[in-house]
Amino acid sequence: MVEDLKRVRLHQASFLEDVAVLEEGSHSDLNARQLNIFNSPKKGGSAESDAQPYLKKLGIEIIENRQPIQFTPNVNERIHRWAPYVQGFSASFVQSIFDQYKNEYANPIILDPFSGCGTVLVQSKINGFPSFGTELNPLLQFIADVKVNSWDVSPTYLIRTYHEMPKDRRSPAPSFLQSTSHFNPGVLKNLELLKGGIESIKSRSDKTKIKNLLKMAFSSILIDCSNLKRSPCLGYAKSKRVYDDTPLVLLEQKVTQIADDLKLIQDDYSNFIHTESHIALTNAMDFQHNQQFDLVITSPPYMNGLDYVINYKIEMGWLDFVENQVDLKKIKDDMVVCDNVSKGLIRDFSESRSSYSNDWLEEIRKNIKANIKRRGAYRRHDMPYIVHKYFDDMYKVMKNVVSSLKSGSRFILVVGDSLIADVYVPTDLLLARIGLDLGLEIEKIEKARVRRSGQIRSYKLRESILTLIKR
């Protein structure tokens, strides 16, 4: 009852938010965005009703199964908390999947084609399950790899190495980033000294893992030391105060936390320390796995979601994974598309002949195109092709994954739908349909969370858990 009331209030609040945007200007001087909201037939609408025709065609219903699915609680979970990450999902969600299928798979082999910072792989290893992943962002692949492959490091040796690091070697901030506006001068100097200290640790076999743990720890404090915040996109934080010694304080805290977790791991999971976990730095669209999987648990990028490269450019630059903007763009262009990719990439896609499509996608593409034309102004005129490329990219990933599935295995995707130029895009149902095209069955689709559209705040979208099964 209380929850229902809260939901009603939230919905009223978002409706009022749409109205507030409109009231910012008189009817005659509304800007393009305000006008679009004013004229939108989707105000106060919901994915629930817009999904009905698609659900009817698939012959299924969506099951309500609200649950905390986001990364936030991981900040208190051992290992998961080693690096902050806003786009991951919660360790408890992954555990709930393992628990759900524990009688069906005795010792499952797990895959996450979009590994991110390794939530699925870390949780697999905690359960003693071998796990594999692919990830295109070199920073995230590095973090995930360090999280799963450092369990045998001596916590005391880690702390000692950290304290013995030279304190007087300065290694310059990445030249292509605007570090003098990202950091206060005293903070910047201390970060350069810490970077220099870590780099001077010799990469001998007994020190390589320790050096990597320290690099990961260093990357994890950078945003907290900066004048920026990630909420979830990277931007300046106006009222944030950072002190000159913040890098020293935060790094010490982080290294202590990692050492504490290593002690716990070595006490509680000693049998699993060498359980296989491997994350390849590669494209999930074409990587050939050489084993077959029982469970695939993953969360693909959301179509109009975050930019997984620009959002992590500070850490990628400071850890020397990229040297310039061109490096960043190259990584981004290979990823499953998001809505701020380069226009050239989309133009090339629109001119290419071979791409996945179906009647739903064609209809959606046509409607987005017509709505953008009617409106006259839209953030990106190539949006119909961005949407199409998203599903073409996802088709390639899913096809690749399906070729490595054992019979009886499950392919579980956590995904959010979208509202684009007043056209509802049922991402979960379109991915379910791709699954059918690839010979899988839809076992269930659960609604885990209600989200609000970024365009029309009063429009209710959903985050779903799609479970496909290979018979």
- From 59-67, 82-90, 192-200, 376-384, give the range in contact with ligand SAM by CB under 6 A: 82-90
Segment contacting ligand SAM (CB under 6 A): 112-120, 349-357, 376-384, 400-408?
Answer: 112-120
Buried b (16+ CB within 10 A) or exposed e, 313-334: bbbbbbbebbeeeebbbebbee
Alpha-carbon distance of 75 to 90, in angstroms, equals 10
Quote the distance between the C-alpha of residue 99 and its chain's center.
Answer: 23
Does 36 help bind ligand SAM (rule: CB under 6 A)?
no
Q: Give min distance, CB of 202 to ligand SAM, in A.
A: 31
Q: Does 402 bind ligand SAM (CB under 6 A)?
A: no
Query: Residue 127: which of 262, 272, 265, 268 has the closest Cα?
Result: 272
Residue 114 touches ligand SAM, criterion: CB under 6 A: yes
Q: Which is nearer to ligand SAM, 37 or 69 (CB)?
A: 69
368 with 339: CB under 8 angstroms?
no
What sign for the dihedral angle of Cα 146, 149, 155, 158?
negative
- Using rule CB under 6 A, residue 378 touches ligand SAM: no
CA atoms within 13 A on the CB side of 451: 20
50 binds ligand SAM (CB under 6 A): no
Residue with token string 């959903």: 462
Helix (H) or strand (E) holding 111: strand 110-112
**Closest CB to ligand SAM among residues 284, 412:** 284
**What are 440's two structure tokens?**
């899988």
- Least separation in angstroms between residue 93's CB and ligand SAM is 9
CB of 379 to ligand SAM, least distance (A): 21
d(CA 338, CA 444): 26
Per CB under 6 A, 135 contacts ligand SAM: yes
The alpha carbon dihedral of 280, 389, 63, 455 has a sign of positive
Measured from the CB of residue 135, what is the shortest distance to ligand SAM in angstroms?
A: 5
Of 30 and 319, CB closest to ligand SAM: 319
Q: If binding is defined by CB under 6 A, does position 212 make contact with ligand SAM?
A: no
Told to check if 85 binds ligand SAM by CB under 6 A, we report yes
Q: How far apart are CA 124 and CA 293, in angstroms?
A: 13
- Nearest approach in angstroms of CB 80 to ligand SAM is 9
- Tell me if 226 contacts ligand SAM by CB under 6 A: no
Nearest to 181 by CA among 100, 242, 250: 242
**End-to-end alpha-carbon separation of the chain, Å?**
41
Of the pair 85, 395, the CB lying nearest ligand SAM is at 85
d(CA 444, CA 468): 7
Q: Does 405 interact with ligand SAM (rule: CB under 6 A)?
A: no
Q: Of 19, 6, 97, whose CA–CA distance to 456 is shortest? A: 19
**Residue closest to 330 by CA, chosen among 319, 318, 316:** 316
Nearest distance in Å: CB 374, ligand SAM: 32
Residue window 331-370: x/- pattern of binding to ligand SAM, with contact defined by CB under 6 A: ----xx----------------------------------
The interface region with ligand SAM, picked from 21-29, 80-88, 212-220, 342-350 by CB under 6 A, is 80-88
Write each residue from 282 to 321 as x if it is in contact with ligand SAM (CB under 6 A), else as -, in one continuous string: -xxx-------------x-x------x-------------
Contacts with ligand SAM by CB under 6 A lie at 85, 87-89, 114, 116-117, 119, 134-137, 140, 283-285, 299, 301, 308, 335-336
